[in-house]
Amino acid sequence: MVLGWTLVALPLACWALVARTRWVGWIVAVVLAACVAGEIGLATRWIHIEERTTLLFAFYPMTVLAIVSGIVAEQRSAGVHRLRAAGGRVAVGVTLSTIYAAFGIVIVPLAALFVMLDGLESTPSGAEVLPLPTGLVVTANQDLQCGNGSNAVCSRQITVRSAVGLPAATIVLRLRDHLLHEHGWHLALDNTGGGNACRTEGWFLDRQYVCLSMSLRPDDQKQLFLLLESSDHNPSQG
pLDDT tens track for 49-62: 767 778 888 888 89
- Measured between its terminal Cα atoms, the distance across the chain in Å is 38
Domain boundaries, the chain: 2-118, 126-237
In this structure, what DSSP letter does residue 130 have?
P
SS3 letters across 60-116: HHHHHHHHHHHHHHHHCCCCCCCHHHCCHHHHHHHHHHHHHHHHHHHHHHHHHHHHH
Residue 229 is predicted with a pLDDT of 92
Q: Lowest-confidence range among 51-65, 94-108, 113-127, 136-150?
A: 113-127
Q: Lowest-confidence range among 15-29, 109-123, 131-145, 171-185?
A: 109-123
Interatomic CA distance for residues 196 and 189, integer angstroms: 7
Residue 12 CB neighbours (<10 A)? 17
Report residue 206's pLDDT band, with 50, 70 and 90 as the boundaries. confident
Average pLDDT for 1-10: 64
Residue 110 is predicted with a pLDDT of 79
Where is pLDDT greater, at 190 or 230? 230
Q: Which of 113, 213, 102 has the alpha carbon at shortest distance from 158?
A: 213
**pTM score of the predicted model:** 0.64
